[in-house]
């Protein structure tokens, strides 16, 4: 008859088992928990107490320490992905994971030794374990952990997305061509900004993805050499537009996600740009991603250029398999990566092109703008090696008030040769473009890099330009302007003429800067701005919503929308010219 093993034998058997799968279980489980929650459990601080009270071997502690270190390394980055979840989900997941972490760590150790829960020995490194390990100790630590996570979650929830260091977002794989059922007549004036969730779900249900867009244009473009794509008209098209769903694009920014923030009329999403006498080449995301294989496309400029970057990301992201794409934040640089193609689509914040006091991607609203006339290298280091560059700079050179001037700094205080001039805004624009052109001519690899400059993006802040009420700005507009060749009095076409002239000086060096002439087609679209249906840092208050003359955004563009056409221009040049 077999004798039951003694306690000592049980412990030895437990140690032998612990040398195998349980150590791997500790490693994998702890790394996973800390990576998901971003928590920081420091096993090194517990090692003395564990060895003294539980008899855990140094070898086992090394496994635990390794798990902790790996968890921390992943936790500080991957854990930030939680800020993209609703706050209640963040808190619930954090609390559950925290409790699971404590339970798993100690359960595995005790199972490893086949011991009951003992009384821990107090040490200088483990003052929290001066009472028996049990529910009270766990809850005390969990409450502290819960408070910290809640505070951090609230902080990030109030901040802007661009402050995260790394955010990895995965979402469902979808098929690729949009079809939408015939839309009803245009919705009248907006009466409320409350989001009708059933309506949004209905809109999402109508979106179907197939392999490519409908034949509203040819692959090659009709008469592409002779056709001026910038001259045309907007055609209502509820079969091939929009190109994607703003509600389903995981990478959209809240400042341009109009339907998400209460805009219930979606007619603005269904207008297609039709050039006179020809067609734009049909956008094919798969072909575009193949063009970007092992390459890098960079948008350089201000928030309107970021608007175009978000549009491009939404136009291609649903073609990429789940888990094969990510968005990375690094200060002024935001990167979208498509692993399947080793392709990168970047946005770099540089609103004045040169180094300036507005270079911070968040804190840049300064009363007096200063550019450093001879400093561009810091910015250029980010984009100079890209395969395709799209520059944009217009709005930041427009006067925001009477008498506004641009301050231009030469030299540096460090070298003792600092000099500060004050010039008209448009003269500062010319200084910046000349310095940019000088740098491109001396440093760009003309055999590798293609350069584009996006034209002026018009604002629609003065409704009196089209016979409306200036107090509403562009709020409640649901139709494009139908006046042929309409030009707003507030759009400076001379700045684009100046840009063409300056960039033309690169032609003798074999460097061509292609102007994306998006100004005229955008002039018609008074209906396509976010107005009050957006979130910038925090949602608008009821008082702000009731005051559109100040708070309606008639500068940026709802997505899906007008910037999608800008990117169709870019696609056409890259693929066919």
Q: Which tokens hold the place of 393?
A: 């700079």
Select which of 230, 303, 356, 393 is catalytic.
Answer: 303
Spatial distance between the Cα atoms of 240 and 244, rounded to a whole number of angstroms? 10
Position 467 confidence tier, pLDDT thresholds 50, 70, 90: confident
pLDDT at 495 over 70: yes
Percent of the chain with pLDDT over 70: 60
Spatial distance between the Cα atoms of 234 and 481, rounded to a whole number of angstroms? 9
Contact between residue 332 and residue 348 where contact means Cβ atoms under 8 Å apart? yes
Q: Name the DSSP class of 329.
A: E
Residue 7: what are its φ and ψ, rounded to 5°? Answer: -60, -40
Best CA proximity match to 388, nearest among 576, 253, 573: 573
Find which of 414-428, 510-524, 532-546 is predicted with most confidence, using mean pLDDT. 510-524
pLDDT at 516 over 70: yes
Contact between residue 304 and residue 556 where contact means Cβ atoms under 8 Å apart? yes
Position 67 confidence tier, pLDDT thresholds 50, 70, 90: low
Percent of the chain with pLDDT over 90: 50
- 556 included as an active-site residue: yes
pLDDT at 338 over 80: yes
pLDDT at 315 over 90: yes
Average pLDDT over residues 342-366: 92
Spatial distance between the Cα atoms of 338 and 161, rounded to a whole number of angstroms? 20
pLDDT at 345 over 90: yes
Give residue 89's pLDDT. 55
Contact between residue 473 and residue 550 where contact means Cβ atoms under 8 Å apart? no
pLDDT at 181 over 80: no
Position 225 confidence tier, pLDDT thresholds 50, 70, 90: low
Peptide bond into 560 cis (omega under 30): yes
Look over the chain and give the mean of its residue pLDDT values, rounded to a whole number. 74
Domain coordinates in residue numbering, the chain: 7-158, 208-576
Give residue 178's pLDDT. 32
pLDDT at 292 over 80: yes
Best CA proximity match to 289, nearest among 340, 324, 249, 358: 340
Give residue 173's pLDDT. 35
More confident: 139 or 409: 409
CA distances from 110 to 50, 53, 64 (A): 10, 11, 13
Give residue 415's pLDDT. 74
- 364 included as an active-site residue: no
Best CA proximity match to 209, nearest among 65, 318, 361, 106: 318
Position 119 confidence tier, pLDDT thresholds 50, 70, 90: very low
More confident: 88 or 121: 88
pLDDT at 128 over 50: no
- Residue 60, helix vs strand vs coil: helix
Average pLDDT over residues 152-162: 42
- The predicted-structure confidence for 445-464, as pLDDT tens digits, reads as follows 999 999 999 999 999 999 99
pLDDT at 289 over 50: yes
- Torsion over CA: 290, 227, 565, 184 (sign): negative
Contact between residue 72 and residue 34 where contact means Cβ atoms under 8 Å apart? yes
- The predicted-structure confidence for 69-79, as pLDDT tens digits, reads as follows 554 444 444 44
Give residue 118's pLDDT. 39
Give residue 545's pLDDT. 92
Least confident of 44-58, 163-177, 468-482: 163-177
Give residue 400's pLDDT. 77
Contact between residue 493 and residue 530 where contact means Cβ atoms under 8 Å apart? no
Spatial distance between the Cα atoms of 360 and 8, rounded to a whole number of angstroms? 64
Average pLDDT over residues 219-230: 61
Give residue 418's pLDDT. 82
Give residue 283's pLDDT. 95
- The predicted-structure confidence for 373-390, as pLDDT tens digits, reads as follows 999 999 999 999 999 999
Full-prediction pTM beyond 0.85? no
Position 60 confidence tier, pLDDT thresholds 50, 70, 90: low
């Amino acid at each position: 008859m077999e004798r039951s093993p003694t306690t000592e034998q049980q412990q030895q058997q437990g140690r032998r088992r612990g040398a195998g799968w349980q150590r791997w279980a500790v490693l994998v489980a702890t790394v996973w928990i800390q990576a998901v929650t971003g928590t920081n459990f420091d096993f090194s601080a517990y090692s003395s107490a564990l060895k003294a009270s539980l008899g855990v071997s140094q070898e086992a502690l090394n496994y635990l320490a390794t798990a902790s270190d790996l968890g921390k390394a992943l936790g500080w980055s991957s854990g930030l992905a939680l800020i993209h979840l609703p706050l209640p989900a963040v808190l619930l997941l954090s609390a559950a994971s925290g409790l699971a972490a404590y339970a798993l760590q100690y359960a595995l150790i005790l199972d490893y030794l086949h011991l009951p829960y003992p009384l821990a020995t107090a040490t200088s490194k483990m003052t929290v374990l001066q009472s028996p390990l049990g529910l009270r100790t766990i809850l005390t630590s969990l409450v502290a952990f819960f408070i910290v996570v809640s505070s951090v979650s609230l902080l990030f929830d109030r901040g802007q997305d661009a402050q995260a260091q790394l955010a990895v977002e995965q979402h469902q794989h979808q098929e690729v061509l949009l079809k939408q059922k015939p839309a009803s007549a245009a919705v009248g004036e907006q009466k409320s900004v409350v989001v009708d969730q059933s309506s949004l779900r209905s809109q999402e249900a109508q979106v179907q993805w197939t392999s490519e867009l409908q034949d509203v244009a040819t692959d090659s473009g009709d008469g592409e050499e002779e056709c001026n794509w910038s001259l045309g008209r907007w055609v209502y098209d509820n079969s091939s537009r929009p190109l994607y769903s703003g509600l389903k694009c995981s990478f959209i920014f809240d400042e341009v996600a109009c339907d998400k923030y209460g805009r219930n009329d979606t007619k603005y999403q269904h207008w297609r740009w039709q050039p006179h006498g020809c067609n734009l080449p049909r956008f094919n995301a798969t072909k575009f991603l193949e063009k970007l294989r092992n390459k890098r496309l960079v948008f350089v400029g201000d928030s309107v250029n970021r608007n175009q970057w978000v549009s491009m990301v939404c136009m291609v992201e649903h073609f990429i398999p789940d888990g094969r794409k990510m968005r990375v934040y690094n200060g002024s640089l935001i990167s979208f990566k498509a692993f399947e193609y080793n392709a990168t689509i970047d946005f770099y914040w540089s609103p004045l092109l040169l180094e300036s006091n507005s270079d911070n991607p968040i804190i840049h609203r300064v009363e007096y703008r200063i550019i450093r006339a001879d400093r561009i290298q810091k910015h250029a280091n980010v984009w100079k090696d890209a395969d395709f560059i799209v520059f944009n700079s217009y709005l930041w050179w427009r006067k925001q008030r009477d008498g506004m001037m641009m301050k231009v700094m030469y030299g540096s205080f460090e070298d003792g040769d600092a000099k500060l001039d004050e010039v008209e805004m448009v003269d500062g624009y010319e200084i910046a473009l000349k310095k940019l052109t000088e740098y491109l001519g001396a440093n760009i690899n003309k055999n590798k890099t293609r350069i584009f400059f996006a034209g002026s993006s018009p604002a629609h802040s003065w409704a009196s330009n089209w016979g409306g009420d200036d107090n509403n700005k562009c709020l409640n507009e649901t139709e494009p302007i139908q006046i042929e060749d309409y030009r707003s009095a507030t759009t400076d076409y001379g700045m684009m003429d100046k840009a063409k002239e300056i960039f033309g000086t690169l032609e003798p060096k074999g460097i061509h800067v292609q102007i994306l002439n998006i100004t005229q087609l955008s002039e018609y679209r008074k209906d396509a701005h976010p107005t009050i249906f957006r979130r910038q840092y925090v949602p608008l208050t009821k008082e702000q919503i009731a005051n559109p003359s100040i708070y309606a955004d008639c500068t940026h563009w709802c997505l899906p929308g007008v910037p999608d056409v800008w990117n169709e221009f870019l696609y056409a040049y890259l693929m066919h010219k």
